[in-house]
Structure 1
Amino acid sequence: MTNVDFGSLLAIGLALFVVITVLKSARIVPQRSNFVIERLGKYNRTLDSGFHILIPFIDKVAYAHTLKEEVIDVERQACVTKDNIQVGINGVMYIQVVDAHQASYGINNYRYAASQLAQTTMRSVIGQTDLDKTFEERAKINEEVVRALDDAAKPWGIKVLRYEISDIELPASIKDALEQQMRAERERRAAIAKSEGERQAMINVSEGQKQEVINLSEGEKLKQINEAEGRAQEIELIATATAEGLRKIALAIKEEGGRDAVSLRVAEQYVKEFGNLAKTNNTMIIPAELANIGGAVAGITEVLKTAQGVKSA
């Protein structure tokens, strides 16, 4: 019975030893991770993701590092700008382990070291920058901090990917001064915009008046041209009609009885005009030849004969 119990205990102990040995020797490294292996207290190798076998009780996993990007909150720090204004700055830093061996043996705690280095670098960069530019040139400041951190962190096996200023805290007096400055700037821009609007409105009105005057003058010019052309056409038509009438009269005079008709017509006009003259005036000066109307008509007839003879010649 004792032999059976001892054999069972020995088998159980052997099974436990085998299980512990397997557990000690088998290692599964997750994706995007590195394990640093030490053999008898000395660095041996770095395990990448996958299944690995170690020598039990001789090899051990000394450090386990993730290769994923890590976010580190940089605590608020007091910085003095180039123009001697104290500001409080909070930041966020993004780092990544690129060499597990250096991250294990190059420094004791690379996260803490990177955070402290970010604070000192930020104080140095802010000390070379005016207060106004700390707001205007955040991207430039971030780039300078990243460059300085990345150069300093290379021996630690890490890479600084980005640094972002999350908040800039100003003293109350500086806030009031900046608010007054911004208010004055807004008022100045509003005044400039108003004056520009009024100036443009005046320009538009003057341009409209100028165009109106031009349009009126052009209209008056066209009116005068049309009236002149109308008068010219009227004179031309009257002259043409008069010439045509005179031509017809001349032709009519040549016909039989034409001279007698002209003499009669002249006599009628003579008597008619004399009658009109008598209606408009109380006192008249009568020519001595008025009594001899026939003589006047005969004289006109003689003139017509003379003109006809000259034309015939």
Structure 2
Amino acid sequence: MEIAVLILVIAVIFITRSLKVVPQQHAWVIERLGKYHGTLTPGLNILVPFVDKVAYKHVLKEIPLDIASQVCITRDNTQLQVDGILYFQVTDAMRASYGSSNYIVAISQLAQTSLRSVIGKLELDKTFEERDIINAQVVAAIDEAALNWGVKVLRYEIKDLTPPKEILHAMQAQITAEREKRALIAASEGRRQEQINIATGEREAFIARSEGEKQAVINKAQGEASSITAVADATASAIERIAAAIRQPGGEQAVQLKVAEKAVEAYSKVASDATTTLIIPSNMSEVSTLIATAMKMVQGTK
């Protein structure tokens, strides 16, 4: 009975040491008698008991690595407190096991030195404006060395850039001055545009008034011309009617009678005025002479 139990225990030990189940996105490095033998892939794997052993276990997922904060000096000798985060992935389990004693520490240290080197080439203002360039250069520097460690660096992100307090105050003052400058420029541009608008409005109003006055003068002149033309037409029509009436039988006698009436009317008006001294011709035949002269003028006109 004891022998059976012993055999069962030995069998269980052999099975547990020979059968290995590797999870998804993992890679296990196997050593046979102290020498690299192979890498186990996800799933069920069979090993030789007491000969093969699992020496290293690696996760093939993307791993975030926090890079410790450090002081970097820019090109214009300004100190910056910089920290970031690095994303990497194990691509070769064998190199990750034997390429470096601790690839995580190696990556972290290389990221810090690469970051100091990149920031040292830039001025303070550029470090805030060109974060993408800094990240790309750090990734390129680390990735080249990490190939021997079986690691692929995917990306690096700067989490924070903190300059000294004095620099922060100076930057804040510069930003405030820049905003005040923009406000003054905007106000002056507004006043300038306002003056332009007022001048344009006055010019257009003056043009409109002058056009109105011009049109009024034209209309008045056209009205006066039309009035003169109408009066002239009426006078010509009246003269034509008078001339036509004179040519009728008895027309000349009517004219003589009308002229005589006008002469008598004129003498009567003069006589009725108390302040007028009336001198009557000694020869009243002069009145008939006046009428005869008027008739000759009428005949000449006809």
Instruction: Provide the TM-score with structure 1 as the length reference.
Output: 0.87
Q: String of CA shifts for 1:238-272, please: whole Å, max 9, x gaps.
A: 22222222222221221223233334444555566
Counterpart residue number, 1:240 = 233
SS at match of 1:167: strand
Trace 1:1-313 onto structure 2 (pairs within 5 A): 8-269=1-262, 292-308=286-302
Structure-2 change in CA distance of 1:298 and 1:170 (3 Å): same
Q: How far, CA to CA, are the matches of 2:27 and 2:137 in structure 1?
A: 30
**Amino acid in structure 1 at the alignment position of 2:48:** I
Q: String of CA shifts for 1:154-205, please: whole Å, max 9, x gaps.
A: 1111111111111111111111111111111111111111111111111111
Q: CA RMSD in A?
A: 2.6
SS at match of 2:218: helix
Counterpart residue number, 1:3 = none
**Amino acid in structure 2 at the alignment position of 1:18:** A
SS at match of 1:161: strand
CA contact (8 A) 2:271 2:278 kept: no
Offset at residue 295 of structure 1 (A): 3.3
Q: How far, CA to CA, are the matches of 1:289 and 1:228 in structure 2?
A: 53
Q: How far, CA to CA, are the matches of 2:86 and 2:17 in structure 1?
A: 37
**Amino acid in structure 2 at the alignment position of 1:240:** D
Counterpart residue number, 1:4 = none
Structure-2 change in CA distance of 1:278 and 1:41 (3 Å): farther
SS at match of 1:74: strand
- Structure 2: where are the runs of 5+ without partners? none
**Amino acid in structure 2 at the alignment position of 1:130:** E
Q: How far, CA to CA, are the matches of 1:42 and 1:21 in structure 2?
A: 21
Structure-2 change in CA distance of 1:274 and 1:87 (3 Å): farther
Structure-2 change in CA distance of 1:203 and 1:289 (3 Å): farther
Offset at residue 213 of structure 1 (A): 1.1
**Amino acid in structure 2 at the alignment position of 1:88:** Q
In terms of mean alpha carbon deviation, does 266-275 or 127-136 score higher? 266-275
Q: How far, CA to CA, are the matches of 1:263 and 1:301 in structure 2?
A: 7
Structure-2 change in CA distance of 1:256 and 1:138 (3 Å): same
**Amino acid in structure 1 at the alignment position of 2:44:** F
SS at match of 2:13: helix
Structure-2 change in CA distance of 1:273 and 1:174 (3 Å): farther
Instruction: Provide the TM-score with structure 2 as the length reference.
Output: 0.90
Residue-pair matches, total: 301
In terms of mean alpha carbon deviation, does 100-109 or 271-280 score higher? 271-280
Q: How far, CA to CA, are the matches of 2:186 and 2:29 in structure 1?
A: 67
SS at match of 2:85: strand
Offset at residue 207 of structure 1 (A): 0.9
In terms of mean alpha carbon deviation, does 297-306 or 287-296 score higher? 287-296
CA contact (8 A) 2:71 2:79 kept: yes
Structure-2 change in CA distance of 1:281 and 1:127 (3 Å): farther
Q: How far, CA to CA, are the matches of 1:207 and 1:269 in structure 2?
A: 67
What percent of counterpart residues are identical? 47
Q: How far, CA to CA, are the matches of 1:124 and 1:106 in structure 2?
A: 25
SS at match of 2:204: helix
- Structure 1: where are the runs of 5+ without partners? 1-7, 309-313
SS at match of 1:128: coil
In terms of mean alpha carbon deviation, does 128-137 or 40-49 score higher? 40-49
